[in-house]
């Protein structure tokens, strides 16, 4: 079903009548219209790549954005459709945690982890696009071997992340919720199928030295400016 302006307006009117404060988080927040849909934010991977490079023991390097900030995407709550925006500063506190534990998984399946911040195989940082993911992957891992050719063939080209909303505010007309702070600790970043927010980039290639990886990360940040 296609969401219409009338649907959004009707949901906003209901929300205005029943939500007590603008700081209240969306009730039954979900990423699809049907009840029971997961509350995840997804973004498309643009131009995924798999290429040879001077390697580090044959490891692969994956890059992408699990979240795009300051760009609206459609969500649903108890009352109906609305748009959601993640503030550019929403990740600052959670990424600053010394004990940050976030895996990179396939399809939000916690048993299909292919990298993790606590093992030094997953780096998370903010750039002008959003939450940048840089992961070093073991090509002998069965899940890595499974996803690599699908990324190359663009059969899978989206990312997502699971998180908790720490704070946010509804717009005066109750049609948009701005997330001001998130908690991604013990959540995840994920390579997924279909998604809702087509606005990011990714790459998969043979890992390079630490210096080259740092330079590539800087180049990605500059390119997104």
CA distance 202 to 72: 20
pLDDT of the residue at 201: 44
Using one digit for the tens of pLDDT, what is the confidence trace for 109-165? Answer: 999 999 999 999 999 999 999 999 989 999 999 999 999 999 888 888 888 899 999
**Residue 37: pLDDT over 80:** no
CA distance 86 to 145: 33
* More confident site: 205 or 111: 111
Percent of the chain having pLDDT more than 70? 76
Number of domains, the chain: 1
Q: What is the CATH number of the domain that holds 64?
A: 3.20.16
**Residue 6: pLDDT over 80:** yes
The pTM for the full model equals: 0.80
User: Could you tell me the residue range of the domain that residue 81 belongs to?
Assistant: 5-223
Quote the tokens at residue 115: 């990298």
CA distance 118 to 65: 19
Is the Cβ–Cβ distance between 176 and 84 less than 8 Å?
yes
Using one digit for the tens of pLDDT, what is the confidence trace for 26-35? Answer: 998 987 777 7
pLDDT of the residue at 94: 98
């Amino acid at each position: 079903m296609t969401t219409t302006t009338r649907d959004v307006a009707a949901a906003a009117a209901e929300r205005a009548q029943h939500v007590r404060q603008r700081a209240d988080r969306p009730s039954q927040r979900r990423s699809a219209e049907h009840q029971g849909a997961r509350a995840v934010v997804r973004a498309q991977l643009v131009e995924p790549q798999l290429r040879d490079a001077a390697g580090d023991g044959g490891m692969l390097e994956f890059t992408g954005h699990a979240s795009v900030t300051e760009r609206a995407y459609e969500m649903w709550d108890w009352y109906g459709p609305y748009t959601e925006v993640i503030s550019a500063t929403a990740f600052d506190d959670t990424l600053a945690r010394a004990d940050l534990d976030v895996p990179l998984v396939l399809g939000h399946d916690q048993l299909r982890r292919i990298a993790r911040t606590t093992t030094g195989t997953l780096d998370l940082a903010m750039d002008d696009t959003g939450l940048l993911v840089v992961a070093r992957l073991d090509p002998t891992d069965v899940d890595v071997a499974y996803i690599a050719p699908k990324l190359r063939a663009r059969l899978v080209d989206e990312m997502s992340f699971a998180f908790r909303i720490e704070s946010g505010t509804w717009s005066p007309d109750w049609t948009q919720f701005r997330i001001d702070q998130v908690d991604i600790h013990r959540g995840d970043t994920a390579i997924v199928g279909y998604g809702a927010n087509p606005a990011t980039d990714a790459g998969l290639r043979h890992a390079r030295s630490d210096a080259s990886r740092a330079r590539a990360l800087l180049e990605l940040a500059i390119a997104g400016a």
